[in-house]
Structure 1
Amino acid sequence: MAQVVLTFFVAYGIVVGGAISGGLGAFLTDKPPLLSMFQLATQLKIFGIVGALGGTFDSFLQIEKILMGNFSPVIKQMVMIVVAFWGAHIGTICVHWLVQVRS
């Protein structure tokens, strides 16, 4: 259970932290920081997922074990993928809510 919570918050932190840092960089370069944060949050979602999982190859190696009839690691890895997705997605929603860019 601790690994699930950690995975969620790593994905969340990558998206939120990257968007905030990117917004600061946009401010320093005279670009609109809120718009940059909005765009970065969407773009960083996939990196949040991959970063939280520790790389994608481990996930695919665990899924290969299904051919050997060992379902436990596969289910565990699928749960981690879903949790990482939700962490990155909720991070994106929070940044979008924070900046409230009108499109």
Structure 2
Amino acid sequence: MNLVLAKAAMDFCIAFGVIIGGSLMAAVGSVLVSGSAATAMYDTAMRLKIWAIVVAIGGTIDPVRVIEYNMQEGHLSPVAQQIMFIGFAFLGAHMGTELIRWICRESL
């Protein structure tokens, strides 16, 4: 059980980091070309959300295959774990996006 929670925490942190890191780098790039850093951060965070989830769960179709195979075989525990991993990745991406939205709210 500890390994499952550790992987879920890693998925959360990876998705969160993709949003925060990508948005901050977009702000740096925007400043270098004399653009609005807050707008670049916000737009990038919104566009990166789905990709942060994909990166966190492995970037391949394997989690979907695990769900499909185990569902057909009647093994629901691995299915629940994969759905939980996707949920934690979504939660990390969403919280990262909300943090960027909160940071940029005064500037937009």
TM-score, normalised via structure 1 length: 0.94
Whole-Å Cα distance in 1 between the matches of residues 73 and 45 of structure 2? 39
Structure 2 stretches lacking a partner, 5+ long: none
Secondary structure (helix, strand or coil) at the match of 1:98 reads helix
Contact 2:38-2:107 within 8 A present in 1 as well: no
> Is 1:66 aligned to residue 71 of structure 2?
yes
Which of structure 1's runs of 4+ aligned residues deviate more than 6 A?
Answer: none
Q: Equivalent residue for 2:7? A: 3
Q: Equivalent residue for 1:75? A: 80
Shift of 1:58: 1.2
TM-score, normalised via structure 2 length: 0.90
Alignment size in residue pairs: 103
Structure 1 stretches lacking a partner, 5+ long: none
Q: 1:26 aligns with which of 23, 30, 44?
A: 30
Q: Equivalent residue for 2:49? A: 45
C-alpha distance after superposition, 1:44-90 (max 9, x if no partner): 10111000001240111111120011111110000001100000000
Q: Which amino acid aligns with 1:3?
A: K
Query: Identity, % of aligned pairs?
Result: 35
Whole-Å Cα distance in 2 between the matches of residues 47 and 15 of structure 1? 9
